[in-house]
Structure 1
Amino acid sequence: MKNVRATIGAAAVAGATLLAGLVGISPAAQAADVACNTYSSTTSTCVNSQLVVDGESHSVDWYLPNGTASALMVLEHGFSRGCGNLRGTSKAIAQKGVMVLCVNGDLTAGNPELADALGDLLSARTITPPAGKPLPQRYIVGGHSAGGHFASELGARLVANGYGDLAGAVLFDPVASGDFTANLETISAGGTRPVLAVTARPSVTNLFNNSHGALIGLTNPYVGIQLVWEKYVLGMPVGGSCHIDVEGENTDIIGVAGALCSANTTQTARLRDFGSTWAKDLATGTKTSAYYCTDAAVVSTCGSKVKDLVDRSLPLAAPIR
């Protein structure tokens, strides 16, 4: 891992070059309005609508539990992607009783301006969910890739606005930009709020886990897990987890081309299991011990779900530490 960290600078340049080819592709071309097409669930519904944020109308997707939602999770898509690419993961969270909102937008560098504007609306509680559902009082911020930076900005904005019911953050292979470290520290509030992440193997696309430094630097004793890779080739981890595992069956050719790998069904299932359980715990103020470690550096303190992934040789997985 030391050699991997030493390549972060070069990887950042390579990653920027790789992603530059996707800049011209709008979120509308990336499953922006298709999340609710053929949506099927006995415990939740999906509704696409419009939401005006900072004077601009955005296509948004709502995932609404049948009963009263325990919290609202804003789950933001990645760069050049759309909310439809997160349909399966959003569904998994909604089926745990958590309302999900995703805003289709330009996520270049995490779009902190959009995050701040949305944070202001949420703080003022002027957003009305569809289908007559009430807006939950408790909020969770979340996101994938550049959407992870968006989530960090949104959470920090809610704190800055004095909103008292931010439960924490759940991130999926976030890619850090700008004030990511400071934002996570604000959300964490000295370890009093959970900040949790599922990350993939280091790759050019996630800038070799450039979010790990901020996560590890938090006071929180446990910040999540890094999913497995299968083997090493020329000293680099390959196979196993992929940057777009969170998209799973909802990814597309552009996602695969950008990530340089395909979503792994086993890893997608693991990611959704952890992410949805963490979201439910944050929403309800509970803690499903199987999904946490008391001390990330000591595997014996980890719950059974974590140990099942960590107590292996190859493929490798580990708590983020």
Structure 2
Amino acid sequence: MRRPKRFRVRWVAALAVVAVLFGVTPAAVRATPVTQQSVEVSSSPVATECAGKPVRVDARWYFPAGRPTALVWLQHGFSRSAANLDALARAYANSGFLVVSPTLDSVNLTGCAVAYNIADNSAFARTIGGVFGSGRDEGSPLAMSLGRAREAAHRPDATMPYRMVFAGHSAGGEFVVVAADALRHSDPIAYRRLAGLMLFDPVNSFLGAHFASAAASLGSDRLPIRVIASQPSVSNTFESGVSILQRTTRQDFLGSRLVTGVHIDAEGESTDLIGELSELAVPRPRNGRVIHTLATGWSSDMVADTMTRTYYPGGRYYDLLLSTATDTTLPVR
């Protein structure tokens, strides 16, 4: 996407900020679609509840070419939508994962939102975590959504996998961390299906301590967590979320930071004008390729309970990233 001329940047940026603050959804600024012949995409809402009222959450389903190896819940961040993670979702599907990418509100007076801003959203995160925990149950909200999406995509062979990975970008990273810890406490049997968390530049909310407490709880349980971080910026609240994970993890290896990374690299070619203006930058294609490779590789290892050497320090691909100053290893404190 071509950048706006310099004399228009401030004016358009101001409009973008106003749009975000007043709840204009990013669906008004369409993300660039990514075409992959081997992936079928279908939309189907998920019926749930929030603040004592029924809620229908829009969701995109991405079907791999063959039988899915695991389910990935891919959650966008503040002022974004599932469309902005389309390229990443397709990368997961091309690696054999069944992907569901919900679109959640960014601002909600009763906390039914992806971020904790004007109201506590932890109860909503717990509810959505429960939706995924019961996903294999016949007649459950997630199973019903998959059934409709499967029919629309003409994929009757695609059934709900046993194993699952929760993945989130920005505020979506905090949301899935809180949801995962809630599932651990509320439904230990369903929690066993959770192979791990894959977080893309996760952001800690300005309010509350839910991220820190959930991360510490999951750290003590030694749930596999991997992180791909960008450089510190206003958009990621100067890596507040990453620093929490560095303090709470009990893993020897947490993840990587992209040397030239910007917050919207995880969105890649699926980003939009609001995303670019928030960074005054565009996603770097090279970083996007690295994100796709590491995220799908690490997630596959979580599911299989293996360690593919090339994706970790000492491995050929990972060390190539280090030697070419593409990324650095996140220190564990």
Using the size of structure 1 for normalisation, the TM-score is 0.80
Report what 2:40 is aligned to.
45
Q: Please tell me whether residue 254 in structure 1 is matched to residue 263 in structure 2.
A: no
Name the aligned partner's letter for residue 159 of structure 2: P
Structure 1 residues 188-232: Cα deviation after superposition (integer angstroms, max 9, x where no partner) = 4443x210010001111111111222221210111100001xxxx
Structure 2 unaligned spans of 5+:
1-15, 106-113, 151-155
Structure 1 residues 177-198: Cα deviation after superposition (integer angstroms, max 9, x where no partner) = 332122223334443x210010
Q: Distance in 2 between matches of 1:187 and 1:102?
A: 23
After superposition, the Cα gap between the structure-2 partners of 1:202 and 1:19, relative to the gap in structure 1 and judged at 3 Å, is: farther
Conservation of the 8 A alpha-carbon contact between 1:143 and 1:149? yes
Q: Distance in 1 between matches of 2:59 and 2:278?
A: 23
After superposition, the Cα gap between the structure-2 partners of 1:27 and 1:118, relative to the gap in structure 1 and judged at 3 Å, is: farther
After superposition, the Cα gap between the structure-2 partners of 1:98 and 1:186, relative to the gap in structure 1 and judged at 3 Å, is: farther
After superposition, the Cα gap between the structure-2 partners of 1:45 and 1:152, relative to the gap in structure 1 and judged at 3 Å, is: same
CA drift of 1:305 comes to: 2.2
After superposition, the Cα gap between the structure-2 partners of 1:255 and 1:180, relative to the gap in structure 1 and judged at 3 Å, is: same
Q: Distance in 1 between matches of 2:200 and 2:275?
A: 15
After superposition, the Cα gap between the structure-2 partners of 1:187 and 1:101, relative to the gap in structure 1 and judged at 3 Å, is: farther
Partner SS state of residue 84, structure 2: helix
Structure 1 unaligned spans of 5+:
1-17, 229-239, 294-301
Q: Distance in 1 between matches of 2:211 and 2:76?
A: 17
CA drift of 1:20 comes to: 7.2
Report what 1:80 is aligned to.
79
Report what 2:318 is aligned to.
306
Q: Distance in 2 between matches of 1:30 and 1:119?
A: 29
Conservation of the 8 A alpha-carbon contact between 1:74 and 1:102? yes
Q: 1:109 aligns with which of 113, 116, 119?
A: 116
Q: 1:122 aligns with which of 110, 132, 145?
A: 132
Q: Distance in 2 between matches of 1:207 and 1:274?
A: 24
Name the aligned partner's letter for residue 202 of structure 1: P
Q: Distance in 2 between matches of 1:144 and 1:30?
A: 19
Name the aligned partner's letter for residue 230 of structure 2: A
Conservation of the 8 A alpha-carbon contact between 2:115 and 2:172? no
1:97-246 matches, within 5 Å, as 97-106=96-105, 107-109=114-116, 111-125=121-135, 126=140, 127-128=142-143, 129=146, 130-131=149-150, 132=156, 133-160=158-185, 161-162=187-188, 163=190, 164-177=192-205, 178-191=209-222, 193-217=223-247, 218-228=249-259, 240-246=260-266
Conservation of the 8 A alpha-carbon contact between 2:34 and 2:87? no
Using the TM superposition, name which of 47-56 and 197-206 deviates more.
47-56
Q: How many residues align?
A: 278
After superposition, the Cα gap between the structure-2 partners of 1:38 and 1:206, relative to the gap in structure 1 and judged at 3 Å, is: closer
Identity of aligned residues (%): 27
Report what 2:3 is aligned to.
none
Partner SS state of residue 210, structure 1: helix
After superposition, the Cα gap between the structure-2 partners of 1:304 and 1:152, relative to the gap in structure 1 and judged at 3 Å, is: same
Partner SS state of residue 157, structure 1: helix
CA drift of 1:116 comes to: 1.5
Structure 1 residues 50-103: Cα deviation after superposition (integer angstroms, max 9, x where no partner) = 111212112100111232211111110111101011111111111111111111
CA drift of 1:39 comes to: 3.9
Partner SS state of residue 265, structure 2: coil
Higher helix fraction (1 or 2): 2
Q: Distance in 2 between matches of 1:284 and 1:265?
A: 29
Name the aligned partner's letter for residue 254 of structure 1: I
Conservation of the 8 A alpha-carbon contact between 1:159 and 1:186? no
Q: Distance in 1 between matches of 2:220 and 2:40?
A: 34
Q: Distance in 1 between matches of 2:161 and 2:29?
A: 29
Conservation of the 8 A alpha-carbon contact between 2:34 and 2:269? no
The CA RMSD measured in Å over matched residues stands at 2.2
CA drift of 1:46 comes to: 1.1
Conservation of the 8 A alpha-carbon contact between 1:70 and 1:99? yes
CA drift of 1:21 comes to: 5.8
